Amino acid sequence: MNKTSIAWTERTWNPVTGCTKLSAGCAHCYAETMAKRLQGMGQKRYANGFQLTLHPEALSEPMKVKEPSMFFVCSMADLFHKDVPDDFIYRVIDIIKSTPWHTYQLLTKRTERMREFFNYGRYAVPDNVWIGTTVENAEQVRRIEWLNDIKTAPVRFLSCEPLLGDLGDIAEHLWNIDWVIVGGESGSKARPQ
């Protein structure tokens, strides 16, 4: 759990690291590059590189932060990846619910699973959680529909980062969206917008 230079949050919390590529926005994943770098530096949490890894020892980290903070959950993974067991996600949500002085940002490309989890699972979205999805091109606009289908959420947001192309006429999908992050792709292999 670290303070971060990410402009739209204050801290990162990574009870899960690693992922697999899902769509065009994943091609030059910053988290994969960073995980490989941290693995090379001998960082214990990244011993598996970017292979999906659960870190139960990290679950209690937000409880140690007493000042109210904004946490980006799983900045180095996707909490709703198919290989993260529901039970582990429930454990993450239990920590979130037990630390109501913090605000948590759950960002996923797997919005369909997030929708199923919160609409039909054990919990609705806690009051201190913002839910979001990444939409990098027009092919991924359906993720906004799934985000909007989640029954309750205090804040819904989009990350159009990396924005790889025109999103088309998405105005009809934005009726329930509170916040949008927009940015290009960075790094030596960045694609033009």
Which residues are CB-contacts of 53 (< 8 A; sequence separation ≥ 6)?
16, 17, 18, 45
* 192 confidence band (pLDDT: 50, 70, 90): confident
DSSP SS3 for 157:
strand
Mean pLDDT on 93-99: 98
Give one DSSP letter per residue of 119-150, joined into a string: HHSS-PPPTTEEEEEE--SGGGTHHHHHHHTS
pLDDT at 94 over 90: yes
pLDDT at 128 over 70: yes
Could you tell me the sign of the dihedral formed by the alpha carbons of 173, 25, 34, 110, in that order? positive
* 109 confidence band (pLDDT: 50, 70, 90): very high
Mean pLDDT on 130-141: 97
Beta strand residue intervals within 11-127, DSSP E: 11-13, 16-17, 53-54, 70-73, 103-108
Q: Whole-number mean pLDDT of the chain?
A: 94
* 138 confidence band (pLDDT: 50, 70, 90): very high
- The pLDDT tens digits of the residues spanning 4-13 come to 888 899 999 9
- The pLDDT tens digits of the residues spanning 146-168 come to 999 999 899 999 999 999 999 99
- Measure the CA–CA gap between 56 and 9, rounded to whole angstroms: 23
pLDDT at 129 over 80: yes
Specify the pLDDT at position 106: 98
pLDDT at 187 over 80: no
Mean pLDDT on 82-99: 98
* 184 confidence band (pLDDT: 50, 70, 90): confident
Q: Is 2 exposed, middle or buried (0-12, 13-18, 19+ CB in 10 A)?
A: exposed
Could you tell me the sign of the dihedral formed by the alpha carbons of 140, 146, 147, 148, in that order? positive
pLDDT at 193 over 70: no
Mean pLDDT on 80-104: 98
- The pLDDT tens digits of the residues spanning 28-68 come to 998 999 999 999 999 999 999 999 999 999 999 999 999 99
Specify the pLDDT at position 2: 79
